[in-house]
């Protein structure tokens, strides 16, 4: 039984790695375009988009983009992440 569970874990791990590495994010481009539309430079928006997508999954980024952050802890995490990402990208320029 333990060998079966081990194989299931290996298969799910492989599926996860393929999904992360080969299937792009569906929120990356819309997030980037929204940032550019706000008036920031393309380089800074690309940096911030990378920063945000490293820390949140697609579902969370979709919530951020639709302003659907009903959980206060999540909203606070988003604010901290955006602020830190903005500073990191500003320093990288």
Q: What is the pLDDT of residues 54-90, one digit of tens each?
A: 999 889 999 999 999 889 999 999 999 999 999 999 8
Give the total residue count for the chain: 93
Maximum Cα–Cα distance across the chain: 57
CB 30 within 8 A of CB 65: yes
Q: Which three-class secondary structure state does DSSP give residue 91?
A: helix
Name the token pair of 32: 């980037």
The CA distance from 8 to 12, in Å, is 6
Quickly state the pLDDT bin for 22 (edges 50, 70, 90).
low
CB 89 within 8 A of CB 48: yes
Does pTM surpass 0.75?
no
């Amino acid at each position: 039984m333990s060998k079966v569970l081990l194989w299931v874990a290996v298969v799910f791990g492989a599926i996860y790695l393929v999904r992360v590495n080969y299937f792009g994010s569906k929120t990356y481009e819309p997030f980037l375009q929204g940032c550019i539309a706000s008036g920031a430079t393309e380089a800074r928006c690309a940096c911030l988009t990378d920063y945000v997508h490293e820390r949140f999954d697609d579902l969370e980024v979709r919530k951020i983009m639709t302003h659907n952050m009903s959980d206060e802890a999540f909203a606070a995490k988003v604010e901290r992440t955006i602020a830190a990402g903005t500073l990191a990208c500003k320093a990288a320029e």
